[in-house]
Amino acid sequence: MQLGSVTLFFLFIFSLLLSQHGAEVYNITPSHPLSEGETLVSPGLIFELGFFSPNSSGNKYVGIWHKDIFPRKVVWVANRDKPIAFIDTLASLRVSSNGSLELVDGKQNSVWSTNVTIQVSSSNTSLVAAVLSDDGNFVVKDVIGAGESIWQSFHHPGDTLLPNMMLGYDIKNRKSSFLTAWKSERDPSSGIYTTELGRRTDMPAQLIIWINRSIPFWRSGPWDKSKFIGIPNMDDRYLSGFKLDENVDQGTKYYSYNLPKETLGYLDLSSQGKLKHMYSENGRNWSLKCESQKNNRCDIYGTCGPYGICSISESPICKCLKGFVPKSHQEWSKGDWTSGCVRKTELFCERQTNKKSVPLQGKKDDDDDGFRKIIRAKVPDYHQYITSLDLEDKFNDCKIRCLNNCSCLAYALVNNIGCLVWYKDLIDLQKFSNGGVEIYIRLAHRELESILTTRDTLREYIGKHDPSELLVYDFDTILTATDNFSITNKLGQGGFGPVYKGVLQDGKEIAVKRLSSSSGQGIEEFKNEMLLISNLQHKNLVRMMGWCVKEDEKLLIYEFMLNKSLDTFLFDTRKRAVLDWPIRFNIIQGVVRGLLYLHHDSYVKVIHRDLKVSNILLDEKMNPKISDFGLARIVEGTQNLENTQKVVGTRGYMSPEYAMGGLFSEKSDVYSFGVLVLEIISSKKNTSFSLYDQQLGLLAYAWNLWNEGKGLELVDEILGYSYSSSEVLKCLHIGLLCVQDNAVDRPIMADIALMLSSDKDCPRPKLPVFTIQNSAYHARSHYESINSSKNEASITMIEGR
Ligand SMILES: *[C@@H]1O[C@H](CO)[C@@H](O)[C@H](O)[C@H]1NC(C)=O
Ligand SMILES: *[C@@H]1O[C@H](CO)[C@@H](O)[C@H](O)[C@H]1NC(C)=O
Ligand SMILES: *[C@@H]1O[C@H](CO)[C@@H](O)[C@H](O)[C@H]1NC(C)=O
Ligand SMILES: *[C@@H]1O[C@H](CO)[C@@H](O)[C@H](O)[C@H]1NC(C)=O
Ligand SMILES: *[C@@H]1O[C@H](CO)[C@@H](O)[C@H](O)[C@H]1NC(C)=O
Ligand SMILES: *[C@@H]1O[C@H](CO)[C@@H](O)[C@H](O)[C@H]1NC(C)=O
Ligand SMILES: *[C@@H]1O[C@H](CO)[C@@H](O)[C@H](O)[C@H]1NC(C)=O
Ligand SMILES: *[C@@H]1O[C@H](CO)[C@@H](O)[C@H](O)[C@H]1NC(C)=O
Ligand SMILES: *[C@@H]1O[C@H](CO)[C@@H](O)[C@H](O)[C@H]1NC(C)=O
Ligand SMILES: CC(=O)N[C@H]1CO[C@H](CO)[C@@H](O)[C@@H]1O
Ligand SMILES: CC(=O)N[C@H]1CO[C@H](CO)[C@@H](O)[C@@H]1O
């Protein structure tokens, strides 16, 4: 939540003309119009109505604002599209005994009027007055008569929704109430953005922001009775006062909200098309409670077109859903994604329909369509609701009802809503880094192969992929390329064996990893592992080009990284100056994206297990690429029981539970990532001989600095003062959260990605202790690691999605 920008946003200064010390009145009557020297106030002095002029606009308007809150936010404007000239000081707002409310300029010409009147006759008396109520409603009423209002501003909203106002529609009476943004921060005239409650009655309501009332700009996703599910951080607790009133018989649907007493607030549509919920607890200034969207391209409606999915943490942000390909590769490659994607394989049910009347008999189960799950999704537009019949097994019921209708393209079972289905092109689908719901996309059976829910399906996947899809290099070619693995070509010694630089005959540079494991693993098994690894592709992972096996030699061929590994810069007294803060920050962000992919977004979950600075390679633009991912599996698989205590991993980066018990999970990678971040900030590696002090030195040092509020002292002194202290402090904070002793306390990569990209407050990290009881450790670890490494290697490393 960016409070600073909010304050700026409201930084238009009002020339309240004489009103500062002018008279305050409590009503406007036919005998007493409101003129420029005066303001109309509400009985509790909460709201005020009067003439105002946005800074240097040359125009004058009648508007309503909160009386004592600064900077002022005008919540309603009478003549927004018909300003009075600034120099006209004789304008006035008057009511007539027939109930009409009218703004006239200095020449007594009508500028704006309500056009609503009542019948008056001489036989009865009426006293019409215009008053401002304490909730901000400006009301014209007959104070002697029934007291019913003749006209009220709440029925004619501007850009702001106040508590007790309603946003929605009444179909029978063809009435609707929506917000229209200002043209700019200083121009109240009607801008291009409007927001309203979606008009379709057959689906759970959502808010839509339109451009020119015709082009959708943003949507909230459906309302689940306490929040809109397409706003990932919409905390329903904050918004307990929001509600949706629907009356199906009368055809009305209205959205409104209330706040606790003593709290003031409003919801406003900014001139940039963003909804903001502001509140004030002290009655003096405004704070931002939440906003509908960040400045995020994925939030713009349909950025990735039909069947595209937008994820802001990936690059490019748009991808086709699995089983779909770009409609126009040309446009897509240029970054114009709006034409979207098309199905690769026709659905089985479509083929059946197209062939007409071909009986379904004799079909194999294999032919049938199925669904692929997407997690953390903002569901697409045009959701429809179907009432579930089977209350016992709602989920299956929802699935079957979708499967049984060929037009049904996707379904989702959402808490507090029920079974949602989609019959139209799936558009405006987004993948969040947290929040969101699970949605199931219908696909032809053939496209479902990459859905791995269990290890068996993983085997199935491998069985269906031909390992020859990977480039197999001839051993002699590699020998020639690496000069017979000459020492001069050696780039380094990795955890899994030495790495050599090679030059192929066509001049292409490669990196060759020569696995040190002396077999045990069969060639088929090795090929399968290669296939798995080679399918992990992300711009922050080193790309595998192929492999080579000859007798005991197992070689992996990777793309060559021009700038070698991060440690060659970071721990070099001179070269580390190259790593200015923006480069370091970019490296941290890239590593986060790469790990996020390995842990959460690739088709199998992969735990790296040996993350460290020397495994972060740098391309020619100093972008980070993680290397050696997935290799732990291969080495692990080759080891017999006696060796299992030798945990894979590098001292200094190992989480306590891994170092001690050989237990690993994605949280042990998170730990290593934390150490990495602290090293990137400080350029310190703090080597010592002792296995455990080595890292505690740096970690405890960093924690203490942070705890004393001196976190910036950790920064590598070579950077001087040229760094963003907020970025550094955020990275330090995240790093400390990651190295907490207890794996449960550590965030997952998805949390980290979110923390990095938002201003959300992070929890407080605990002091890393990493204490061990020596004898107990040895006695226990041997015992446990045999069991754990065997089981964990096969279970934790790979999880289907
Ligand atoms: C408002 O007007 C004053 C005087 O014309 C000027 O100094 C100030 O910068 C203006 N503020 C904004 C936000 O434009
Ligand atoms: C209401 O009264 C005002 C002022 O007397 C007059 O200008 C206007 O025409 C009247 N409107 C109607 C509908 O009678
Ligand atoms: C009142 O009627 C006039 C003329 O028909 C119209 O221009 C104006 O917009 C109306 N005012 C309001 C507030 O509806
Ligand atoms: C005054 O007369 C009008 C028209 O005859 C009627 O609609 C209104 O209700 C009367 N007001 C009162 C207070 O009796
Ligand atoms: C919205 O309407 C305005 C004025 O008609 C026009 O200039 C603008 O291009 C329109 N915007 C879009 C996105 O169509
Ligand atoms: C609002 O006022 C309170 C108390 O005066 C102050 O602590 C707070 O920082 C202010 N908030 C903003 C956004 O100005
Ligand atoms: C499938 O759903 C669509 C959209 O609701 C509906 O029009 C159609 O009749 C359904 N088809 C079948 C066979 O139920
Ligand atoms: C590599 O080794 C082979 C056979 O051992 C030898 O014939 C060849 O000359 C060597 N090549 C280089 C570049 O040393
Ligand atoms: C592995 O764990 C099982 C059950 O937790 C235990 O019975 C068994 O003794 C353990 N195996 C070894 C070799 O310690
Ligand atoms: C900082 C640094 O050394 N960057 C180099 C990375 O590699 C490219 C291509 O070789 C060089 O141009 C950069 O100078
Ligand atoms: C062995 C070693 O260098 N340990 C150091 C690790 O870092 C802390 C804090 O900088 C030092 O106090 C240790 O001496």
Q: Is 610 a catalytic residue?
A: yes
Instruction: Return the higher-pLDDT residue of 772 and 686.
Output: 686
Contact 295, 740 (CB under 8 A): no
CA gap 83, 58 in Å, rounded? 9
Question: Which listed ligand is nearest to 579 at the C-alpha?
Answer: 10
How many whole angstroms from 643 Cα to the centroid of ligand 9?
Answer: 17
Catalytic residue among 268, 610, 628, 669: 610
Helices (H), ranges, 544-580: 566-570
What is the dihedral sign for C-alpha 355, 357, 361, 366?
positive
Q: Is the pLDDT of residue 88 over 80?
A: yes
CB of 113 closer than 6 A to ligand 3? yes
Q: Residue 341 and residue 193: Cα distance in Å, rounded?
A: 28
Say how far apart CA 382 and CA 376 lie, in whole Å. Answer: 18
Tokens of 448: 């479902």
Per-residue pLDDT tens digits for 253-263: 999 888 877 78
Tell me which of 98, 119, 142, 148 to substitute to probe ligand 4's pocket, judged by most ligand atoms within 8 Å of the beta carbon. Answer: 119
Range 580-598 average pLDDT: 94
Task: Judge whether 337 and 324 are in contact, CB under 8 Å.
Answer: no
Sign for the CA dihedral angle at 23, 25, 31, 34 comes to: positive
Give the pLDDT score at 672.
93
Q: Give me the long-range contacts of 141-149 (CB less than 8 A, separation at least 24).
A: 142/99, 142/118
Residues lining ligand 8, Cβ inside 6 A: 479, 483-484
| pLDDT confidence tier of residue 358, bands split at 50, 70 and 90 | very low
Is it the case that residue 347 has pLDDT exceeding 60? Answer: yes
Q: Output the CATH code of domain 562-798.
A: 1.10.510.10
Q: Ligand 1, from 8, 16, 56, 70: best to mutate by most atoms within 8 Å of Cβ?
A: 56
List, in sequence order, the alpha helices (H) in 425-541: 455-464, 475-481, 523-534
Q: How far separated are the first and last CA of the chain, in Å rounded?
A: 32
Percent of residues, the chain, with pLDDT higher than 70 = 79
Query: Which of 354-358, 573-577, 776-780 shows the lowest per-residue confidence on average (mean pLDDT)?
Result: 776-780
Query: Which atom in ligand 6 lies closest to the alpha carbon of residue 3?
Result: 13
Of all helices (H) and strands (E), which one includes residue 411? strand 410-414
**At the top level of CATH, which class does the domain 2-154 belong to?**
mainly beta
- Residue 3: pLDDT band (50, 70, 90) is very low
The bound ligand whose nearest atom lies closest to the alpha carbon of 486 is 8
Indicate whether residue 296 lines ligand 5 (CB < 6 A).
no
Q: What is the pLDDT of residues 433-485, one digit of tens each?
A: 888 899 999 998 877 754 643 344 445 545 555 545 567 888 899 999 999 99
96 lines ligand 2 (CB under 6 A): yes
Q: Which residue has the higher pLDDT, 550 or 124?
A: 550
Q: What's the CA-to-centroid distance between 202 and ligand 7, angstroms? A: 14
532, pLDDT greater than 80: no
Q: Whose CA is nearest to atom 11 of ligand 4?
A: 145
Ligand 11 center–CA 575 separation, angstroms: 22
- Ligand 6: does its nearest atom lie under 6 Å from the Cβ of 29? no
Least confident residue range of 171-185, 367-381, 411-425, 782-796: 782-796
- Residue range 425-436, pLDDT digits in tens: 999 999 998 888
Give the domain ranges of the chain. Answer: 2-154, 160-295, 299-453, 562-798
Instruction: Write down the pLDDT at residue 522.
Output: 61
Report the nearest atom of ligand 9 relative to the CA of 786: 13
Full DSSP string of 584-599: HHHHHHHHHHHHHIII
In whole numbers, what is the pLDDT of the chain averaged over residues? Answer: 81
CA dihedral 730, 732, 734, 740 (to 10 degrees): -150
Check whether 208 has a pLDDT greater than 50: yes
Q: Which of 671, 553, 699, 548 is nearest to 611 (CA)?
A: 671
User: Over the Cα atoms of the chain, what is R_g?
Assistant: 33
Cα of 651 from ligand 9 centre, angstroms = 27
What average pLDDT does range 352-358 have in this prediction?
Answer: 57
Please tell us whether the domain made up of 160-295 is placed in CATH 2.90.10. Answer: yes
Which residue's CA is the closest to the ligand 11 atom numbered 11? Answer: 697
How far from chain centre, in Å, is Cα 264? 29
Give pLDDT tens digits for 725-744. 999 999 999 999 999 988 88
Q: Which of 13, 185, 187 to mutate to test the pocket of ligand 1 (most atoms within 8 A of CB)?
A: 13
String of DSSP letters for 684-728: -----SSTTHHHHHHHHHHHHHHHTT-GGGGS-GGGTT-S-HHHH
Q: Over the stretch 634-682, which tens digit does the pLDDT of each residue have?
A: 544 333 322 333 445 566 677 776 666 566 678 889 999 999 999 999 9
CA proximity to 312, closest of 220, 433, 221: 433
Which one has a higher pLDDT value, 530 or 106? 106
444/175 Cα distance (integer angstroms): 45
In a 13 Å sphere around the CA of 356, the CA atoms on its Cβ side amount to 0
Rounded CA-CA distance 132/25 in Å is 10
Cα 421 to ligand 7 centroid, rounded to whole Å: 11
Residues 6+ away with beta carbon under 8 Å from 10: 71, 72, 73, 286
494, pLDDT greater than 80: no
Q: How confident is the model at residue 560 (pLDDT cuts 50, 70, 90)?
A: very high
Spacing, Cα 402 to ligand 7 middle (Å): 10
What's the chain's length in residues? 801
Confirm or reject: Cβ of 330 under 6 Å from ligand 3.
no
CA-proximal residue: ligand 9, atom 5 (nearest): 787
The burial class, CB within 10 Å (0-12 / 13-18 / 19+), for 94 is buried
Q: Are domains 2-154 and 160-295 of this chain identical in fold?
A: yes
Strands (DSSP E) found in 417-565: 418-422, 429-431, 437-443, 471-472, 490-494, 497-503, 509-514, 544-550, 553-559
What pLDDT shows up at residue 506? 87
CA-closest residue to ligand 4 atom 6: 119
Residue range 406-410: mean pLDDT, rounded: 94
